A and B are shown apart, each in its own frame.
Chain A
Amino acid sequence: MTHRTIKPAPNIVQGTPLDAKALKRGKIFLNSYAPALRYTWDTGEAMGRYLAELKNGRLIARSCRKCERVMIPPRMFCERCFRPTDDWVYVKATGTVNTFSLCYVSWDVRRLKQPEIPAVIEIDGASPGMGILHLVRKVAPKDVRIGMRVAAVWKPPAQRTGSITDIAYWMPINRRSQRTVSAK
């Protein structure tokens, strides 16, 4: 069997190489625009209560009496039953790592020596599979495991703003004392 090499078509259109100098000298027309986009979001009932409770150092959920799920973050409607949810339920600030990743590149594309550890944490007292997405710290990346028990580390009350970041991070629970800990 013969093997034929396909010869590429001759490059008729010659490209113009660009470098930083060409840009600086104004040899190229440039048009740039920085949009001034600013947003707020009404938190409404469910999100509003959730954030207010975070400021208090507590996690709150909503329950649906029909499917008997306890949902966190709370919502005023059950997406499975398509009906309003019924009750506010405080849940614990401890949980179990459902899944995690080790992120070696920051959001602005810097390489990180110590990876960030985003994790979905199933909350104790909420229904199975109900978790919140947050960060795990105070653990060597090689030691993080799915199924690991973790506890919220709260910011000091004066620094809390009613935000998901009122929890500074989550850390592994000391097996002997499964208590919630506070950041210094």
Chain B
Amino acid sequence: MNERVAIIGVGVMAARPSSEHLSFKEMMFEAAQKAYADAGIDAHEVESFVTCAEDLTEGISIFDEYTPDQLGAVQKPMHTLTQDGLYGIADAVMQLRSGLVGLVVVEAHSKHSNLENPNSILNYALDPVYNRPLDFNPHVIAGLEMNGFLHATGITQAQCAQVVAKNRTHALKNIAAAYPMNLRAEDVQSSPYLCYPLRDAEMAKSADGCVVVVLAGASRAQPSKSRPVWIRGVGFTNDSPTLESRDWIDAQYIRAAAAMAYGQAGIKDPVAEIDLFEVDDAYAYKELQHLVALGIYPQAVAAGRAVENGESGAAGKMPVNVSGGSLGIGHTLEASGLYRLAEIVCQLRGEAGPRQLPRAKVGLAQSWRGVPTTSGAVVILGR
């Protein structure tokens, strides 16, 4: 049985608003080639493959049938999770710890630009009897939650706008980001409401992209060959999804997932022991809500103050989303979590170029599957 699991290769395609020059298969092939070259492996050595995709966003039923060729997975164990990419990482960790396999690949991508009416797909995720007949824009769930969250915590709309300004400005230094912009909080606050108190500019725009990650058991992950970044903890949970009775203030699913991951990593004090955070910011307030659930701030209101005074900026004492986050990179469907994971790997290896943080020994990546879900994952990585 392998005690430890490492990430030994990452292949990231730059996220872009559209990607008509490549089919989804060609996109996966490109990211896979990058990842295998990064890991210094041959595709034939990989023993098991996990892809993360949702049939309804692919427009193809039983989507896992369409994935082996372009990953080098023909006649190999392969399955698809209908979940964010960080769940794929958890899956790979379990396979590797079981000792059955020594080398696993995880893939996730987005061809969001191919969806002609994404809101209909989102609407399709609502309860068909209780919620769908009301015929509201499904993003209103974020408006409802943001309102409850701000009301209960004292975090302000201006502080949420600050999150957008911070992340899109961070993205200026990330060549893989689709939406870099030198933005000020005032600019965000002059954007129209999508669903009060949530403004248009506070929702991450969608992007196309693909990430492939190579994971290995300790015996395969020799530091001399592969610059391993170790997985120290993985957690994933769901809260109750019921809109009528869910927790509208606290992201309980992340609180529980973080407890799992912290327990495995032996982390008692995340603020002191973790150097950088890449957390879900599909809507600006979500970054603050997720940081609160990760136990970073004893008082939730401090999460708002931290973004206001620059503490969570790239130059701050606890940098959050130096990659640009989903607000800056673009939201890439199930690949979103893997873009965050790739940033942590890059930072921990010291390969982040203009974004490189001076201290990056332990990092945390977190994902949420978007409205209407209460499904989230946490992965802690260390050098």
Residues in chain A within 8 A of chain B (CB atoms): 31, 33, 35-48, 75-77, 79-80, 82, 84
Extra A-B contacts (9), CB below 8 Å, given A31-B133, A44-B25: A35-B121, A40-B114, A42-B20, A42-B111, A44-B20, A44-B23, A44-B24, A76-B29, A82-B43
Tell me whether B44 and A82 are in contact (CB under 8 A): yes
Partner of A46, one of B19, B23, B113, B133: B23
Q: Which residues of A contact B29 (CB under 8 A)?
A: 76-77, 84
- The CA-CA distance from A38 to B56 in the complex, in Å, is 10
Q: Name which of B24, B26, B117, B121 has the most chain A CB atoms within 10 A of its CB.
A: B26
Measured CB to CB, the closest approach of chain A to B334, in angstroms, equals 17
**Interface SS majority for chain A:** loop
Tell me whether A31 and B129 are in contact (CB under 8 A): yes
The chain B residue sitting closest to A36, CB to CB, is B120
Tell me whether A45 and B21 are in contact (CB under 8 A): yes
Shortest Cβ-Cβ A-B pairs, 9 listed: A44-B23, A39-B59, A79-B69, A82-B72, A38-B116, A82-B43, A36-B120, A44-B22, A44-B26
Residues in chain B within 8 A of chain A (CB atoms): 19-27, 29, 42-44, 56, 59, 68-70, 72, 74, 111, 113-117, 120-121, 124, 128-129, 132-133
Tell me whether B115 and A80 are in contact (CB under 8 A): no
Tell me whether B128 and A37 are in contact (CB under 8 A): no
Tell me whether A41 and B23 are in contact (CB under 8 A): yes
Measured CB to CB, the closest approach of chain A to B122, in angstroms, equals 11
The chain A residue sitting closest to B129, CB to CB, is A31
Tell me whether A33 and B116 are in contact (CB under 8 A): no
Partner of B74, one of A35, A48, A79: A79
Cross-chain pairs A/B with CB under 8 angstroms, 24 sampled: A31-B129, A31-B133, A35-B121, A37-B56, A37-B120, A37-B124, A39-B59, A39-B114, A39-B116, A40-B114, A42-B19, A42-B22, A42-B113, A44-B23, A44-B24, A44-B25, A44-B27, A45-B22, A76-B26, A76-B29, A79-B70, A80-B74, A82-B42, A82-B44
Tell me whether B23 and A47 are in contact (CB under 8 A): yes
Q: Name which of A31, A38, A41, A79 has the most chain B CB atoms within 10 A of its CB.
A: A79
Q: Which residues of B contact A41 (CB under 8 A)?
A: 23-24, 59, 111, 114
- The CA-CA distance from A37 to B124 in the complex, in Å, is 9
Q: Which residues of B contact A38 (CB under 8 A)?
A: 115-117, 120
- The CA-CA distance from A41 to B23 in the complex, in Å, is 7
Q: Which residues of B contact A44 (CB under 8 A)?
A: 20-27
Q: Which residues of B contact A47 (CB under 8 A)?
A: 23
Q: Which residues of B contact A76 (CB under 8 A)?
A: 26, 29
- The CA-CA distance from A38 to B132 in the complex, in Å, is 18
Measured CB to CB, the closest approach of chain A to B41, in angstroms, equals 11
Q: Which residues of A contact B74 (CB under 8 A)?
A: 79-80
- The CA-CA distance from A46 to B27 in the complex, in Å, is 12
Q: Which residues of B contact A31 (CB under 8 A)?
A: 128-129, 133
- The CA-CA distance from A36 to B138 in the complex, in Å, is 14
- The CA-CA distance from A35 to B128 in the complex, in Å, is 11
